[in-house]
Amino acid sequence: MMNALPRRGRRAFTLIELLVVIAIIAILIGLLLPAVQKIREAANRMKCSNQLKQIGLAVHNYNDTNGVLPPLRTQYTVTGSPTFNYGGWWHFSLLPYIEQDAVYQAGLNYCITNATTNSYSAPVSTGTIQNINMKGFGCPSDSTLSNGCPYTNSGWAGTSYSPNASLFGNMWTSNNNRVSSFTVGTIPDGTSNTVGAAEQMAGCDSTNSGAPAISAGYARLWTVTWDDQSWNPEIALSTGDSTWNLPPQFGLSPGMKKCDRARPQALHATINVLIMDGSVRGVSSGVSQTTWLGAILPNDGAVLGSDW
């Protein structure tokens, strides 16, 4: 009987081979991470765009129901039994049209019960409207938001989407409202040539030097009921800062000292902009001031340039 051949021992990896394998894995990871980040950002941008589209639908539904565009700001004094006041920013008026009627009614009932305009003080399941995390109002790429609140004002609910004040608040009323003199059907420049809303950093730190100074920062708070540009989410306010007509800012991040509260900020490589025909488009950093001004003014009769 023949003896079986002896089994050869298993050859182990040498140190050099192990280092080569580790190097290959590191290279693959280095190639993979940027691709994953690009995919994540593409998904965030799509979600941000879809949320703006939903807001656009809400604007049109509000107009169809009430025969007027949603007001930039309400500070109603309603005479009834009893007499009561209630108020809210543009976003608050849209709540019933984005399936958030319960939140809207909570704010309304609180104002009626307490004879106040402070709808943000209304109690909800998570606390008050003041700090409720309304996911449809926050872009996932807006790193200035944390649990729905801007880092410059953590006690209040913020938003990444700001309405066009030149469209929705171009007229004051006797009861201190800021409303629109247009409807969807009467915008002089047409719905496809007029910006309804745009991205804007929820937390805007505009100090000039040093580490982020929270006390010197601004915030975009959709729950506000007062008229103060330091906290109001709005763009194209012609009676505000002198830079209101400048095009959007690109490439900003939290802590940078160049955030302009009067202008929109791109949260992606291009900025998502809601057009009044209900569409959302990306505007690049190459847009000129002339073209941007023609897009945000609803009645200037300007023809938008080829950079639009």
pLDDT surpassing 60 at residue 6: no
Give the residue carrying structure tokens 């109001």. 232
Number of neighbours of residue 194 by Cβ within 10 angstroms: 26
Mean pLDDT within 90-111: 94
Peptide bond into 96 cis (omega under 30): no
- Give the pLDDT confidence score for residue 218 in this predicted structure: 87
- Give the pLDDT confidence score for residue 153 in this predicted structure: 87
Encode pLDDT of 220-261 as tens digits.
Answer: 999 998 888 889 999 999 988 899 999 999 988 766 667 888
Question: Measuring CA to CA, which residue among 299, 292, 106 is closest to residue 186?
Answer: 299
pLDDT surpassing 60 at residue 26: yes
Q: Which 3 state secondary structure label does DSSP give 84? A: strand
Helix, strand, coil percentages in the chain from 3-state DSSP, rounded to 5? 35, 15, 50
Question: Measuring CA to CA, which residue among 111, 112, 110 is closest to residue 123?
Answer: 110
Q: To the nearest whole percent, how much of the chain has pLDDT over 90? A: 59
pLDDT surpassing 90 at residue 204: no
**Range among 24-28, 38-42, 63-67, 152-156 rated most confident:** 63-67
Mean pLDDT within 299-305: 94
Rounded Cα–Cα distance for residues 145 and 129 (Å) = 16
CA dist 45 to 54, 98, 153, 279, 280, Å?
14, 20, 24, 15, 11
The residue that leads in pLDDT, 195 or 152, is: 195
Encode pLDDT of 34-90 as tens digits.
Answer: 766 667 777 888 999 999 999 999 999 999 999 999 999 987 665 544 455 678 999
Domain boundaries, given as residue ranges, for the chain: 44-68+134-296
- Give the pLDDT confidence score for residue 214 in this predicted structure: 45
Residue 126, phi then psi, degrees to nearest 5: -100, 5
Q: Could you tell me where the DSSP H helices lie in 115-171?
A: 165-168
Among positive and negative, which fits the CA dihedral 138, 143, 146, 150?
A: negative
Encode pLDDT of 181-202 as tens digits.
Answer: 999 999 999 999 999 999 999 9
